[in-house]
Structures are given as structure tokens and as C-alpha cells.
A = this chain, B = another copy of it.
Amino acid sequence: MKTDNRIRASLGENEADILFTNARIINVFSGEIIPGSLAVTGSFISGFGTYPARKIINLNGRFVAPGYIDAHVHLESSMACATEFSRAVLPHGTTSVIADPHEIANVLGKEGIDFMLRSSEHQPVCIYFSLPSCVPATEMETSGAILSADDLIPFMKNDRIVALGEMMNYPGVILRDPDVLAKIENSIDHKKPVDGHAPGLSGKELFAYVAAGISSDHECTMVAEAEEKLSAGMHIMIREGTAARNLHDLLPLVNEKNFNRMMWCTDDRHPHDLLENGHIDSMVREAIRYGLDPVTAIRMATINPASYFGLHQKGAVAPGRQADLLIFSDISDPVPEQVYTKGILAAENGVINSNIKKPASIPVKSSMNIRSGNIDFSMPAGPGRLRVIEIIPHQIITRQYLTMAKVINGMAVSDISNDILKIAVIERHNGSGNVGKGFVKGFNLKKGAIASSIAHDSHNIIVVGTSDDEMKAAADAVIKAGGGMAAVCGCNICGTLSLPVAGLMSNETVEAIDRQMENLISAARYLGSSLSDPYMTLSFLALPVIPELKITDKGLVDSVNFCIVSPFA
């Protein structure tokens, strides 16, 4: 019996596995740093003080903190599977994450969630999940699945599912969509919190959203917004993702009176960002650099998410808690030097320990239900002016831009000199043959085409190019890879990244993914693109919940008025 073993260990009936001496222990309950010793037996912390132990590690005054917890992350954004994500964040001190498999669920539905659950077992990082609440995000696109409240119920009993994931359908909440309310009520009935996602929601609509039972938000961008949500009863997750970065803007809100309602999350971090900047550790250090008390910063990374998600054996260096520990030398700049998970030394000086084995990989079904021969990118010219999606650099909102189409033989074609390029979204889930077509300004490709099966939130194949043939070649390369990204110039493939797991994730290491990504970005630059990450930009052009003009497999979407519109105005 596990309880039995923990009690024996705390009593010191048998030798502990490790006794850390001369430690300075971050106590997340008292907020103090307490000098002393700490015993670990098996995967749990036994207690403080002197214990007989097989191994004594003198920390010479170094600090011991609990392992960090990412309160909200989409593993899919790392493009790595659970195993490789785990190995990438572990050296940064992350020992638990609450992952929302929203992306894969939009592709593979319940099978996608099952895959994430199974493929994340037996990892050195404890991977918990929130259940995707909004699959699909809208009806203006074809997703791989529709998950109703009834579909989610069987998952609610799973101990590793700790919340209902970000309820981005706040109109559905406010308008009291029965299926939306049923999802919320089921989660609360299972004593699992409901995470929110409500950028800018304020006043009575915010109060209604909170009154519905939604208890956190990670979309705040300004102090006033976070303050209002906090005062209304929401837990605030401060996010620092690769694209959306809110830490500096929200830090002025955090003080000793309110920090216990706040935690850190990354939401979406891309491979390069993970490798270059790290994970939750980067947020803790940045917050300290900006003046936050280090212990407070650490509490927001540990006990706060553990308490919020009911993970009572996590988030603290205390008896009976899981021995997930970080050791570092400098409290003003905590760089994890050793990371223990479940009592095992798992990473040292930024490198994962070689004895941390990779669990067997889990098979997943193909997500490319598409016949490439069928794809037709041609578009007859219509009357009136051409509606063009205009990219705004570094933002995911777009503008609608009206111009004259370049027409050859009665067909609207890419107008390279004016940077008006054809863009298409190819449905890949049901083999429907849907291809949504339009034009986009901002990629500045002078030749070739690029394509990706990461296209939020339904993740159909999105492709932009200077000619129909090259677009077809790029899409074919993605399909052939079983999903992924490609850059094509003429008949040459100048870069690919295979993402065979739902067209979203690779089985390779984060480092390998990053190298291929860098190669792909170089290829896009070679083709003429001036965007810093044209694939990321591309991936958000299919997201119809964001204004102003987007594209899905059903066509151009006026995402202000929520309707499909013709390419010709």
C-alpha cells in the first residue's frame, strides 16, 4: 500500500534513499526559506531533519524548490510528442504540466485524447490534462471531430484529467448553449475546475462567465483586465508563450495579498523558444529580475497550480509529497542545476540524465484522409474587386484588403509583383474534397509555395504560393509526409518537416524539430518571405474566431460577421 510506505518512510523505519544536507529549502506554505536537511525515499519526500540514508548529498547551502508546474500548455505547439516534450522541459525544472490536447482533439477527436493520455504515461514529467471544451472551435470549418458533453463524460473519471480545458466559446456560455453548460456542470460535478479563455471579457458578460462556474483565465493582456477577473473570483494564469507574451504587462498586478490566486503558464511554446529560453523557469527568473520576491515567483510555479488543480501530492517540498525537486545556487536567478523527478536525478546542468529511458512510442492512426489527385487550386475570376487577407506582422488579427485581381485566361492567379498570393485550405479529415481558396498579402514569396498541416484550430492543410503547380507540390509533400510542413521551389522540395502524429507532432527530439524548422524558415526566406516565422503566420490564417478575414476549407471567412464570403466583393 502506498500510504503505508510513505508513513514508514516518514518515520525513518528504513533507510531513506537520499538525505540532502545543508539545504536551503523553499517552503511554499510559510513563504520562508528554511535551512536544514531533507530525506527522500522512493518517489516521495519523507521529512525534514536527520534520517538514516543510503546516500547523503551535501548541498552546501544551495536551494531546494519544488518542481515547476505549467498550469496550461498545448504540447502540440512544441511539435513534439509527450516523450520529447518531457525531455525538453525537464532540464528546465518542469516536473508537471497541465496539457490541453485541444489541437489533436480537433484532428482525431476522442482517439486523439486517448493517444495523448497513453503516450504521456510513464514520462519523467507528470503530464496531466484538461479536457478540450471546444471541438470544433467554430462551424465555419471542417474539423476532424465534434466532441459533445456526452463524449467528454467518460474522460472525466480519469485521474490524470484534472480540469475542463479553456472554454473559449464564451458566447456559448453567455447564451447558455445547453451542451456548453453541460460540459461545465459535468466538470464541476467531478470536482474538476473549469479553465477559461476570455480575452477582453469584462463587466456583466465576465460576471456571467464566472457565474457559470469558470474559474481561471490565461488570456489577460493588461493589469486592469486581470484585476477585474481576479476580483470577480478567477484564478489568473500569467502566460508567456512564444507569440503571446503577457508577463511584463501583468507583473505589476502581483502582490503579497493576491499572488495565491495566480500561477504561470506557457500556453504555446515553439521548439526554438523552448530550447533557447526554457520553460516555466524562464518566467520565474524574469519575474524575479523585474522585482518579484523569488519565493512568491516559485509559489506561483508550484503550490498554486497544485492546489488549483487538486494535485495534493505536488507543488511542495514537504512530507508525503512527490519528490520533484530543483536545486540551484542563486535565489535571485534560479537556474536549475539538478532536477529530480519522483526521487530520481533526471537532469543536470541543463542536460537530461542518460538513465532516463524513453517509454515505448504509441501508434496513432493516419490523419491524412485526402486524395491528392483531386485537388484543384484554380479560381475563375469573378466580378468586383478581390478580397485579400492582409497580414499584420506580429499579430494574429488580419485586415481585409480590396484590390483588382490578376487574371490570366479568365482565372484569378497570384500577383507576385504586388504580393497578392493565392492561399488555399484543403480539408484533410473526412476526404470531402473541400478546398477553400482566396488571396493573401504579406508573405512576399517571389517563387515557390509553402504548406502546413498545422492550421488552427481544425488543422486542415493550408498552402500559399506563387503558382498553382507549386502549391500542389507543397501540399503533396505534406500529404506524403503524413502531415507536416513543406517548402517547394519549382519541382524541388527545399524543406520538409514530417509531423506524422495527427499532422501536428513529430516523433523526433525537440532539437531535431527545431533544426528542420530553421531549415524550413530559411527555405521560405529563400523563396522571398520577409516574415520572421511564415509557418506560424500561415497557421493562424485559418483561425476563424479572430478578426478580420480568414480562410477555412469552406472558403473565406468574414470573422467579424461570422459568415463565409466570396473572394470577390
Contacts and interface: CB of A to CB of B under 8 A. Distances in A.
Contacts of A29: 230-233, 258, 261
A354 interface: no
Interface in A310-329: 310, 312, 316, 318-321
Contact of A319 (B49, B191, B210): B210
Contact of A191 (B7, B48, B310): B310
27 contacts: A6-B208, A6-B212, A7-B174, A8-B176, A11-B174, A11-B204, A11-B205, A29-B231, A29-B258, A30-B230, A30-B257, A30-B258, A44-B211, A47-B203, A47-B207, A47-B211, A48-B207, A48-B231, A48-B232, A51-B204, A188-B312, A210-B320, A211-B319, A215-B312, A233-B316, A233-B319, A256-B257
A6 B233 CA distance: 15
A86 interface: no
Interface in A1-55: 1, 3-4, 6-12, 27, 29-32, 34, 44, 46-49, 51
Contacts of A206: 319
Contact of A7 (B176, B310, B318): B176
Q: Which of A4, A9, A32, A260 has the most chain B CB atoms closer than 10 A to its own CB?
A: A260
A205 B48 CA distance: 11
Contacts of A1: 181
Contacts of A34: 231
Given A3-B184, A191-B310, A319 B230 contact: no
Contacts of A48: 207, 231-232
A320 B10 contact: no
Interface string A231-257: 111000000000000000000000011
A47 B204 contact: yes
Interface string A173-211: 110100001001100100100000000000111111011
A227 B295 CA distance: 18
A318 B228 CA distance: 11
A490 interface: no
A213 interface: yes
A8 B318 CA distance: 44
A310 B174 CA distance: 25
Contacts of A32: 231, 257
A173 B8 CA distance: 11
B10 A211 contact: yes
A211 B6 contact: yes
B7 A208 contact: yes
Nearest to A304: B260
A227 B30 CA distance: 8
B321 A233 contact: yes
Given A227-B30, A233-B316, A7 B47 contact: no
A217 to B, nearest CB: 13
A211 B257 contact: no
Contact of A320 (B31, B204, B233): B233
A156 B29 CA distance: 28
Contacts of A205: 11
A27 B231 contact: yes
Contacts of A12: 204
Contacts of A184: 3
Contacts of A8: 176, 208
A369 B4 CA distance: 40
Contacts of A256: 256-257
A309 to B, nearest CB: 11
Interface string A92-123: 00000000000000000000000000000000
Given A207-B10, A207-B46, A258-B29, A232 B319 contact: yes
Contacts of A319: 206-208, 210-211, 232-233
Interface string A143-181: 000000000000000000000000000000110100001
A211 B30 contact: no
A258 B31 CA distance: 6
A302 to B, nearest CB: 12
A320 B184 CA distance: 14
